[in-house]
Amino acid sequence: MPIPILMPALSPTMEEGTLARWLKKEGDDVTSGDVIAEIETDKATMEVEAIDEGKIGKILIGEGTEGVKVNAPIAVILEEGETTSDIDETSLSSEAAPTVEAPADEPAEVSNNGSAAPAPQAKPAASPSANGRIKSSPVARRIASEANLPLEAIQGTGPNGRIVKADVLKAKEQGISAPANTPAQLPVAGIDERLYPADSYTTIKNDGMRKTIAKRLHQSFNTDVPHFPLNIDLELTNLLAARERVNAASPAKGEDGFFKISVNDFIIKACAQALMAVPEANASYTDEAILQHHHADIGVAVPIEGGLITPIVWKAETKGLKEISAEIKDLAGRARSKKLKPEEYQGGTFSVSNLGMFGIQSFSSIVNQPQGAILSVGTGEERAVVREGQIVVRTMMTVTLTCDHRVVDGAVGAALLAKLKTFIEDPAAMLL
């Protein structure tokens, strides 16, 4: 019997995704393991593989369709001897799936008696549905994007006000457009127009990533996790000297084996060693027990378009500076192009967020659940300090450890920072 291809769950928390692109078309033969489509989640673009052998009998969800629920049918594979007449779409799933893309010519709706339905009445410009998305077909969105047309200003004549190809073409003829590289204005509920007139601001739609960040950080900060910060100043004199010596041993740029170790690479390594020395801080809280982790799996905060992602250096305590540096560069590059796999950014036991490159002296981050703590790293700068009764200039850096008080007590957090201070101020101590 025909085999449905279901929208996969690419992470434990995924509820829906966007079907970005089909790599196979109807009628194509597929074998198990063939990549057939690309799915976008809030933080990554993933490939979907066929798990059965046969022929793509019907594509149920068009390219670019957003809000596709997990386990909703997206296509059907036909086995040998089967035809499209064997497909019973009503029995595939009881889940409501997004509307399938209409044919290119967008035929008129047909009434129950088989005759053409009356021409639709003029409708107001499109407005977001309950989930904030404009109802539109993938073809309509593609044409609108290519022509720089704001969907919010186009009247939808399709079912339930859905914008179809003909609507976009009509709007294109009428010359509706949005300024280049300017986010389209969206209606915002609850805004007092007496205080904020509609022409005084530009709205930027919250995408899946921004909504996920907001939801999880709000949950962490306001409901679940009692936070407290600890900060300490670290001297970088010996670390900077060690970094200079290490980088001097690198082959020339462009040659095989070239590397360039950053201060942040030293910090990741030092955190890993400190967590091994103070295992009580390398822990997560659950209602049943505290999980004390055997390895330092350290998340490194990476800013990307539209938000933030924290790819993980797994078992960082087992890796050298060169390996950590190369891994972070690879993870950060793929994070910015949304090519990370979920297992590369989910989980971890500890995180590091570094804003020093922006000149931030100190700050406190929000704990990234289910981890027990996160280190916020400020800029390294020359300061006047007292050494042996004398005022001298030293390069100093302030770091702040934000702890989940349910699992990391004040004394434990202080012990972790003390050990981190040892490793940062005397990098050779990490070799012991």
What residues are annotated to the active site? 405
At residue 251, φ and ψ (nearest 5 deg) are -60, 165
Q: Residues 38, 39, 42, CA angle at the centre, nearest 5°?
A: 140
Q: How is residue 222 annotated by DSSP?
A: I
- Structure tokens given for 258: 């070239």
- Taking the C-alpha atoms of residue 88 and residue 253, their distance in angstroms, rounded to an integer, is 60
Q: Are 327 and 318 in contact (CB under 8 A)?
A: no
Whole-angstrom CA distances from 265 to 232, 239, 253, 354, 424 are 19, 11, 19, 11, 11
- Taking the C-alpha atoms of residue 195 and residue 120, their distance in angstroms, rounded to an integer, is 38
In 3D, which of 298, 271, 281 has the Cα closest to residue 412?
A: 281
- Taking the C-alpha atoms of residue 132 and residue 126, their distance in angstroms, rounded to an integer, is 11
Tell me whether strands 302-304 and 350-354 are parallel, antiparallel or unpaired.
unpaired
In 3D, which of 370, 356, 285, 352 has the Cα closest to residue 313?
A: 352
- Structure tokens given for 256: 């095989």
Q: At what angle do helices 321-336 and 263-277 cross, to 10 degrees?
A: 110
